Structure 1
Amino acid sequence: MPSYAAQAGQSLIFLPPAFMTQLELQGEPPAFGHAMLKYFAFDPNYVNLNHGSYGSLPLPVLAACNKLTMRVESNPDLFVRVEQTELITKCREQIAKFVGAKMHEIVLVRNTSHGINTIMRSFEWNAGDVIVTCSTTYDAMTGLARFLRDGPGHPDISQFVLQWPTSHAAIVAGYRAHLASIPRRPGQKIVAIIDSITSVPGALMPWQTLVQLCKEVGVYSVIDGAHSIGQELNINLRAAGPDFWVSNCHKWLFAKRGCAVMFVAERNQGIVTSSFPTSKVYKSPADRAFPGESFIEQYNWNGTIDFVPPLSITAALEFRAWLGGEGAINGYCHDMAMRGGARLAAFFGTRVMDATGEFTCNMVNVQIPLPPGVEPSEAINTLFNQKLLAPTNRTTKVSAGVFYHGGAWWARCSAQIWTELEDFDLLGSVLAEVCREVVHETQA
């Protein structure tokens, strides 16, 4: 077992929030690796290599959230009616600077799916319109495209097929050809949902170039950046120029789940005319002095929710700055992903999906020893989750995203600031055992 900080991990889970203020950001942070575990609330028997799915809240950020929650509850009227908007504005200013956007193009929403639903449902769909998806589009977004196709207007869906092994250059060439193949007609709109980093496989896409391709042929670009902020270095939306972009802050940025940042380019704020739910400050397009009037205000208040998660972005950014900043964090995580992936592949006698690192940020995809005869299904996914996270035959729990692609089974492993190479060793031994069990139970 890795040398996890069991006492710190166990006690901090059960002690009151006031105790957590002892983990203040003073002095130099410890070295990345297992020494970082004391800043998280993990079960000491749990090895987290699936941070990318749900994020992991640092204890100093949790302490800031608890402090803010007490402030809210001490006088909810004062906070909601007087103080909240100022804090939201500060948070928007910080995150706009972080992603290289204009502040009036940035609002806070619950999660990426919420934001993209708001955007896609704002278009007035007509027969002949087209939604462009990808074979690796996140399944909830694929479901959204189907839902819109089934609704008024019945837009068509055009899917671009993406298969590894490939390269960024091949993806760009293939996407250009795919857009060119879509029949065009007067008055038609085409909207492309593009992942910046695909969920499975966990792979960095050449999304900025795909945005430019869309611009060249009059296609709207909606960027699903769920995995980007906090993992992808040097995000500059002003330079990239997408029409829309949404990213979760509770995944890789260390904010409290769930919260996300939604970017709507100023030129498109006449499309997203209403927040969801619609706010009391909503104005009909005919009554607006300019297209984006009331855009920000609608997201500042559209019903009673807990604003602590989105406001935790401020504490998350402070924690990341204390750790050494984006270069230090992502440099360690990327290196650990590359080395850990190679080590796990060597243990299995298999391969990594991206040997060159062209597609790798902090998630690495490693083929696991499961024969292709085991067909993908919801039952198989449930079986893996049960055996990895709630085993009956061992105390150690591990997590990694298991998925099927290109006729083979893979594990998507997320490297984080607490990860060390021996975590990949432990995952390998457990996954090898689980794979044998899955084969036995599904082929018996």
Structure 2
Amino acid sequence: MTQLEFEGSPPPFGHPMLKYFAFDPNYVNLNHGSYGSLPLPVLAACNKLTMQVESNPDLFVRVEQTELITKCRAQISKFVGAKMNEIVLVRNTSHGINTIMRSFEWNAGDVIVTCTSTYDAMQGLARFLHDSPGHPKVSQFVIQWPTSHAVIVAGYRAHLQSIPRHSGQKVVAMIDSITSVPGALMPWQELVKLCKEAGVYSVIDGAHSIGQEMNIDLGKADPDFWVSNCHKWLFAKRGCAVMFVAERNQHIVKSSFPTSKVYISPSDRTFPAQSFIEQYNWNGTIDFVPPLSITAALEFRKWLGGEDAINSYCHDMAIRGGAHLAWIFGTRVLDETGEFTCNMVNVQIPLSPDVRPSEKVNSLFTQKMLAPTNRKTKVSAGIFYHNGAWWARCSAQIWTELSDFELLGTVLAEVCREVADELQA
């Protein structure tokens, strides 16, 4: 990053921040949570690093990249309150959780616990494992909003207790820290405690956590496994993620994916976790820039004022923007108490619940919001159906202002009418 990009103090949060991103001026991004948004100063650092790689690929891959990866691991370990030897870098959260879940040796009678709010790709992973040798059963816990953290914790305890248990059985719970749909903060630390009490492995899908959830302390929460994307809310280059595997469980994750040349057979290891870190330093040629962009992303966030400043603004904007959008629509927010809301807010939109979710409906919303033929402005928000109503998941970021929610309200009201008309035609 150059001195010019970080000269002086940053501008105030809101639209003045847009100059630090590459957005089309006719595009209003209220869906940052899906794919992240790369700041231009971080992009400049990535371009500089790319030139370093390409100037001498042999030197970089054989000598320089391991030191840089180690630096990133040290920084992100401190950021999430974990031991450095429990942290490795992977492509994305789905990649990390697949690595973990496929590492278990599944047997008949084993159980995978999911929730109705589990990310759809992870639901697919659970079904795949059920269809594979060992055929673990999938036991799904139902969550319907509106609800509360207390209700979820009580219900989850009862659900774990209802699972028939036998000697030698594995029960593995896949738990979201912040659900994708709806965008909701879960009481995941409490659920981890319940898993410990019940002898259940906890695998935390933290895709939305780093950069959005405040005061992550993995040492205190002590999950068995935890994975989070750095390219979403942390502002790193997509895709990269951090994978936490507690020391006590590193014997389970025997191999990186793909398997590295430094893989050691369990029978040949002098201690259970031997080669765990080394496997993730090199397991095939990739673009090394995304994981290494974590350093630049953390520097950018520090320049902005740090985690408290960033998340205080984004959380306040999510609360105020959600309330304002609900007022525009004459509807409601999904989380009326605010206990589920970090920087994403879910607002009911004016589409009849008689319209049922389908690929066609999803495609219509995508086309009409992102590639409209009747207007210049493009807007993005996550549209989904839950508990008898349609909702918009809106991500508040450092560039967001209330006027963005107003524009979304105008556009979404029009799009809902268009979708309903087209489905009736």
What TM-score, normalized by structure 1, do the two folds share? Answer: 0.95
In the aligned structure 1, how far is the partner of 2:29 from the partner of 2:4? 21
The one of 13, 18, 22 equivalent to 1:32 is: 13
**Does residue 1:189 correspond to 2:148, yes or no?**
no
Instruction: Name 1:376's counterpart in structure 2.
Output: 357
Which SS does the other structure have where 1:47 is aligned?
A: strand
The one of 257, 266, 276 equivalent to 1:295 is: 276
**Does residue 1:255 correspond to 2:236, yes or no?**
yes
Letter in 2 for 1:191: V
Show CA shifts across 1:281-311 (max 9, x none): 0000111111110000000000000110000
Cα drift, residue 22 of structure 1: 7.1
Cα drift, residue 21 of structure 1: 4.6
In the aligned structure 1, how far is the partner of 2:121 from the partner of 2:60? 34
Letter in 1 for 2:130: R
Which SS does the other structure have where 1:57 is aligned?
A: coil
Letter in 1 for 2:212: Q
Letter in 2 for 1:391: P
**Does residue 1:216 correspond to 2:197, yes or no?**
yes
Letter in 2 for 1:387: K
Root-mean-square deviation (CA, aligned residues, Å) is 0.7
Cα drift, residue 383 of structure 1: 0.6
In the aligned structure 2, how far is the partner of 1:213 from the partner of 1:119? 20
Letter in 2 for 1:93: A
Which SS does the other structure have where 1:246 is aligned?
A: strand
In the aligned structure 2, how far is the partner of 1:24 from the partner of 1:91? 22
In the aligned structure 1, how far is the partner of 2:275 from the partner of 2:81? 22
Letter in 2 for 1:109: V
**Does residue 1:231 correspond to 2:212, yes or no?**
yes
Residue pair 1:23, 1:59 contacting (<8 A) in 2 also: no
In the aligned structure 2, how far is the partner of 1:168 from the partner of 1:284? 43
In the aligned structure 1, how far is the partner of 2:172 from the partner of 2:7? 47
Aligned residues: 425
In the aligned structure 2, how far is the partner of 1:434 from the partner of 1:386? 10
**Does residue 1:311 correspond to 2:292, yes or no?**
yes
Which SS does the other structure have where 1:24 is aligned?
A: helix
Percent identity over paired residues? 85
**Does residue 1:164 correspond to 2:145, yes or no?**
yes
Instruction: Name 2:155's counterpart in structure 1.
Output: 174
Letter in 2 for 1:254: F
**Does residue 1:94 correspond to 2:68, yes or no?**
no
Letter in 1 for 2:412: L
Residue pair 1:23, 1:39 contacting (<8 A) in 2 also: no
What TM-score, normalized by structure 2, do the two folds share? Answer: 0.99
The one of 85, 107, 118 equivalent to 1:126 is: 107
Cα drift, residue 26 of structure 1: 2.0
The one of 287, 309, 313 equivalent to 1:332 is: 313
Instruction: Name 1:385's counterpart in structure 2.
Output: 366
Which SS does the other structure have where 1:128 is aligned?
A: coil
Which SS does the other structure have where 2:6 is aligned?
A: coil
In the aligned structure 2, how far is the partner of 1:263 from the partner of 1:117? 13
Unaligned runs of 5+ in 2: none
Unaligned runs of 5+ in 1: 1-19
